[in-house]
Structure 1
């Protein structure tokens, strides 16, 4: 049955987050000329932690979780934030951008759909399969239709393996958060997972601080950092987790396919990069697949606390 109804705003939220994350490829390209990648990632998440807990206290009047949930969130933060983001950084370093983009993004929703029954009572429907296949075809055209293409040579095997690992870890991270959001709000789950992730990421920045010419940083660098903290982390993680809880992890993760499209648009606007006809076709396929997914009725889950 074709119906979007009250879930419409959740799909809009997922698309908005995908647009923010895609545009962040362009913004971060400016900053990474001056920052070590892992240090920049740590600053993005570490500086967001006080904002998360400030919002949590202001909105819910407390910040705590049970010891059991805290241990779960520590594991989720260590693997789903620290390990994930470090793997993303090194996958980009050891393979081409096209390879990293394709292997990071394309398999993620598929793994989420495959692993979902281990965490949740989500049914993989024929509409989800058809829409996901169309969206997957679209994202492949968007990435492979660019100038870089896909390079399967052995020189990139390490980076390719790390990129594929990102898809597995990312899918498990999203799914592991879902049961916790039956008890705690998306804001609380996001705050604690990112706090633990930042804590575990900190040791990897030990040799990076002295490499930055802090006196040479300008307003653009701080604006990009603010974008990363306020929009790409605080707002994006809260909105994504809240919307994902409402529409389901498998369905929500297919909306990650809009990230490369947003990145291509960012490259066009910020750096004058060209957009090919194949990428335009890919955008149409991807949009059609996501619309098809979003028009399927799904029973809402329990309302989260807070």
Structure 2
């Protein structure tokens, strides 16, 4: 009897383990799809910037995303339910990203070289690790720390050793980008924390609506009014670019991003996705945009890929961020 019960328990454990592995494969596949779409985002952004300012591109992108998600929710094509839920934390997360993050990214990039901004933005996974360990007391294994650092080293090798690498940005730009990276890390951690109360679809909808309102107000205050929409509706190429950015790079990608963050520890989810996006961005930049490359680029990409594979390795037991719910989060909810 005891042997039969033991065999049943072992069978159930095996099934649970298989389901977990299957779910991980799905998550990693989604992360690859997301990174490919985001890796091509520069194509849409470049096309949209022909007729629009950077802030107008952001405004149009998030307004497109909000409109699509609201329509889908209204016709019950997607399921969202905010009834009885405390909206403060999810709105605070959306304030960090896309609102403040996008502004910091636009101005930070404009005040630094492309090389500098690429390296600084790639520090996202390291920022999350530091915040998790110092403030949230999350225990991160040494192999994961090594994997994240290795991937970042790959970013530096593929960019800093390139013939086009240059320095010369303003210190204010560096500071803005560092703050931007911290905001992105805070958003990822908050998305991870609230994922037991809000679905990835609900988080993305709040991000889109709040981002749309926020950026439209900035555009109107800046004196451009509704010019962005006149351009979008009268210029086919601009509309196509904004549609790609709004649907592909915002709706689809952020639903995937929030899904992965809800299922994996925040530091692993960020390292996996951010480095995949950087890897794809470098490759598509070389193939489509004609960016220069050399042997160091290949070495850097290989090191980056090594870090991604290492951080995604199967583990018997993972410390998830959700095991460390802090009193401060509980106070925010109260």
For this pair of structures, how many residues does the alignment match? 296
Aligned residue for 1:178? 192
Aligned residue for 1:284? 302
Q: Does the Cα contact within 8 Å between 1:97 and 1:148 map onto a contact in 2? A: no
Query: Could you tell me how far apart the structure 1 residues matched to 2:203 and 2:232 are?
Result: 36
Aligned residue for 2:164? 148
Query: Could you tell me how far apart the structure 2 residues matched to 1:28 and 1:111 are?
Result: 26
Q: Does the Cα contact within 8 Å between 2:150 and 2:304 map onto a contact in 1? A: yes
Aligned residue for 1:244? 261
CA RMSD of aligned residues (A): 2.6
SS at match of 1:48: helix
User: Larger deviation: 42-51 or 290-299?
Assistant: 290-299
Q: Does the Cα contact within 8 Å between 1:244 and 1:252 map onto a contact in 2? A: yes
SS at match of 2:288: helix
1:105-124 CA distances to partner (integer Å, 9 max, x unpaired)?
Answer: 2x211111122358868431
- The residue correspondences of 1:31-180 to structure 2 (distance < 5 A) are 31-56=48-73, 58-59=76-77, 61-66=79-84, 68=86, 70-105=87-122, 107-116=123-132, 122-151=138-167, 153=168, 155-180=169-194
Q: Does the Cα contact within 8 Å between 1:48 and 1:229 map onto a contact in 2? A: yes
Query: Could you tell me how far apart the structure 2 residues matched to 1:274 and 1:295 are?
Result: 32
Alpha carbons of structure 1 residues 50 and 30: separation in structure 2 relative to 1, 3 Å: closer
Query: Could you tell me how far apart the structure 2 residues matched to 1:63 and 1:118 are?
Result: 34
Do structure 1's residue 194 and structure 2's residue 246 form an aligned pair? no
Q: Does the Cα contact within 8 Å between 1:44 and 1:233 map onto a contact in 2? A: yes
SS at match of 2:50: coil
Structure 2 unaligned residues grouped into runs of 5+? 1-17, 323-334
Shift of residue 127 of structure 1? 1.6
Structure 1 unaligned residues grouped into runs of 5+? none
Query: Could you tell me how far apart the structure 1 residues matched to 2:137 and 2:239 are?
Result: 43
SS at match of 2:51: coil
Alpha carbons of structure 1 residues 210 and 185: separation in structure 2 relative to 1, 3 Å: closer
Query: Could you tell me how far apart the structure 1 residues matched to 2:163 and 2:239 are?
Result: 30
Aligned residue for 2:284? 266
1:205-246 CA distances to partner (integer Å, 9 max, x unpaired)?
Answer: 122357668289643322211111111000000011111211
Query: Could you tell me how far apart the structure 2 residues matched to 1:191 and 1:216 are?
Result: 24
1:18-66 CA distances to partner (integer Å, 9 max, x unpaired)?
Answer: 2221211233122212211011101111221132234445256544254
1:136-184 CA distances to partner (integer Å, 9 max, x unpaired)?
Answer: 1111112223343241x4x521211111111100000111111211122
TM-score, normalising length from structure 2? 0.80
Alpha carbons of structure 1 residues 193 and 31: separation in structure 2 relative to 1, 3 Å: closer
Greater relative contact order (CA < 8 Å, ≥ 6 in sequence): 1
Alpha carbons of structure 1 residues 281 and 274: separation in structure 2 relative to 1, 3 Å: same
SS at match of 1:242: helix
Aligned residue for 1:296? 314
SS at match of 1:15: helix
